[in-house]
């Protein structure tokens, strides 16, 4: 078969497209566009037969309207809130995601953040390193035993379920709120379903967010909902930044409402210099300095996961180009 198709990788990828070419090379030429903004795509995507997009760009009507012969837009990742999938549907262009490349990595990271916070590991390391305290476990007090405490999950999908199994292995009492999960998931995983967010938050030792970003989940954790958690509990977010209003965290840490927070994702990435959470976390005089962990949207990352994401994204394009049934279509 000749290379009669063109596939573009719009953003994120800075490597040559060697992995994508191993999957698509006999069919298509693969162009890496390294765009930082949608406007960088002008004149470069119009004749693409398939588009691979990561999370560094918004892909709106403005770009989608210019696609003349696109058979698939694939979001090489889980969350597709940066693609106007509803508009793509009106143009007859399917949008698919790559849902499973990093399920275990994100779950491992959520549990990693949980353990670093609830066992006092991050707090003591941070205080000791800057000479703020003497050589004693007491500076992490009071720490409770994890066994039997409630690990509260918002959104029991792929990653929420993988995290639930890990929290169960720690002996935690796993509960979840997910109004859209079908009946029975609680039984297959041996965890507890609760019917309202309020009920979940009131009993949580740790709240871990694993829902998509939607109009309903935007700022689902904010000052009012954090105040529904017990004093001295913990908040972990490895889902999407805007699921948590992080401007509420410094105050909640200062008041003792939260004993710690683990934040892998922010509403604006990278964050502006005056971001309230990041400013407090960088300030050695603010209690958030020792009690908050911030990572640069890295929970998905492992070398194997990154390869899976690229291979599976390219395989989705291949199926679209040769006319095979598509998988993981979200629109």
DSSP category for residue 257: S
Min dist CB 139 to ligand NAD, Å, is 30
Of these, 156, 206, 236, 317, which contacts ligand NAD (CB under 6 A)? 156
158-169 vs 103-118: helix crossing angle, rounded to 10: 40
In 76-212 the beta strands, taken as DSSP E runs, fall at 95-97, 150-154, 173-177, 192-193, 206-209
Q: Which of 61, 216, 269, 304 is catalytic?
A: 269
Of 229, 182, 178, 181, give the one whose Cα is nearest residue 207.
Answer: 229
Q: Which of 66, 192, 297, 319 is catalytic?
A: 297
* Those residues with Cβ within 8 angstroms of residue 259's Cβ, 6 or more apart along the chain or in another chain: 117, 232, 233, 234, 253, 291
Active site residue 269: yes
| Tokens, residue 183 | 């009946």
Min dist CB 294 to ligand NAD, Å, is 12
Q: Are 116 and 122 in contact (CB under 8 A)?
A: yes
Of these, 94, 160, 262, 271, which contacts ligand NAD (CB under 6 A)? 160
Instruction: Decide if residue 239 touches ligand NAD (CB under 6 A).
Output: yes
What span, in angstroms and rounded, lies between the C-alpha atoms of 275 and 258? 19
Min dist CB 327 to ligand NAD, Å, is 14
Cis-peptide into 89, omega within 30 deg: no
Min dist CB 195 to ligand NAD, Å, is 12
What span, in angstroms and rounded, lies between the C-alpha atoms of 106 and 161? 11
Of these, 26, 39, 198, 216, which contacts ligand NAD (CB under 6 A)? 216
Q: Which of 240, 290, 291, 318 is catalytic?
A: 240
Of these, 5, 12, 59, 177, which contacts ligand NAD (CB under 6 A)? 177
Min dist CB 199 to ligand NAD, Å, is 13
Of these, 3, 4, 180, 322, which contacts ligand NAD (CB under 6 A)? 180
Cβ-based nearer residue to ligand NAD, 239 or 257: 239
Between strands 173-177 and 50-53, the pairing is: unpaired
Of these, 71, 75, 149, 210, which contacts ligand NAD (CB under 6 A)? 210
121-129 vs 103-118: helix crossing angle, rounded to 10: 60
> Mask: binding to ligand NAD, 107-146, rule CB under 6 A, as x and -?
----------------------------------------
| Tokens, residue 203 | 């009993």
Q: Are 102 and 302 in contact (CB under 8 A)?
A: yes
Stretch that binds ligand NAD, among 20-28, 32-40, 176-184, 276-284 (CB under 6 A): 176-184
Supply the Cα-derived Rg of the chain in whole angstroms.
22
Tell which positions 271-330 bind ligand NAD, by CB under 6 A.
297, 299-300
Instruction: Decide if residue 85 touches ligand NAD (CB under 6 A).
Output: no
* Those residues with Cβ within 8 angstroms of residue 129's Cβ, 6 or more apart along the chain or in another chain: none
Instruction: Decide if residue 82 touches ligand NAD (CB under 6 A).
Output: no
> Mask: binding to ligand NAD, 35-64, rule CB under 6 A, as x and -?
------------------------------
Which residues make up the interface to ligand NAD (CB under 6 A)? Answer: 78-79, 99, 102, 106, 154-160, 177-181, 210-214, 216-217, 238-240, 264-265, 297, 299-300
Positions marked catalytic: 240, 269, 297
């Amino acid at each position: 078969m000749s290379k009669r198709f063109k596939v573009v990788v719009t953003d994120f990828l800075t490597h040559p497209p060697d992995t994508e070419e191993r999957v698509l090379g006999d069919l298509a030429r693969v162009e890496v566009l390294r765009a930082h903004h949608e406007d960088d795509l002008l004149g470069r995507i119009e004749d693409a037969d398939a588009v691979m997009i990561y999370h560094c760009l918004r892909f709106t009507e403005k770009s989608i309207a210019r696609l003349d012969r696109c058979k698939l837009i694939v979001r090489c990742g889980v969350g597709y809130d940066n693609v106007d999938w509803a508009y793509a549907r009106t143009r007859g262009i399917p949008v698919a995601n790559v849902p499973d490349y990093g399920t275990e990595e994100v779950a491992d990271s959520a549990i990693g953040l949980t353990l670093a916070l609830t066992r006092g590991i991050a707090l003591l390391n941070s205080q000791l390193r800057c000479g703020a305290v003497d050589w004693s476990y007491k500076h992490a007090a009071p720490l409770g035993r994890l066994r039997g405490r409630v690990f509260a999950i918002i959104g029991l999908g792929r990653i929420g379920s993988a995290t639930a199994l890990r929290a169960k292995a720690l002996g935690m009492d796993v509960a979840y709120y997910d109004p859209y999960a079908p009946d029975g998931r609680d039984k297959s995983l041996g965890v507890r379903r609760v019917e309202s967010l309020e009920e979940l938050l009131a009993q949580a030792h740790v709240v871990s967010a694993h829902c998509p970003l939607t109009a309903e989940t935007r700022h689902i954790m904010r000052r009012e909902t954090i105040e529904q958690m017990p004093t001295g509990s913990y908040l972990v977010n490895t889902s999407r930044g805007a699921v948590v209003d992080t401007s509420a965290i410094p105050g909640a840490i200062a008041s003792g409402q939260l004993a710690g927070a683990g934040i892998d994702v922010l509403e604006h990435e990278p964050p502006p210099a005056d971001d309230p959470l990041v400013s407090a976390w960088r300030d050695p005089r603010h209690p958030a300095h020792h009690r908050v962990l911030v990572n640069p949207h890295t929970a998905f990352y492992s070398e194997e996961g990154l390869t899976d994401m690229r291979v599976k994204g390219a395989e989705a394009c291949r199926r679209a180009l040769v006319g095979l049934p598509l998988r993981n279509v979200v629109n």
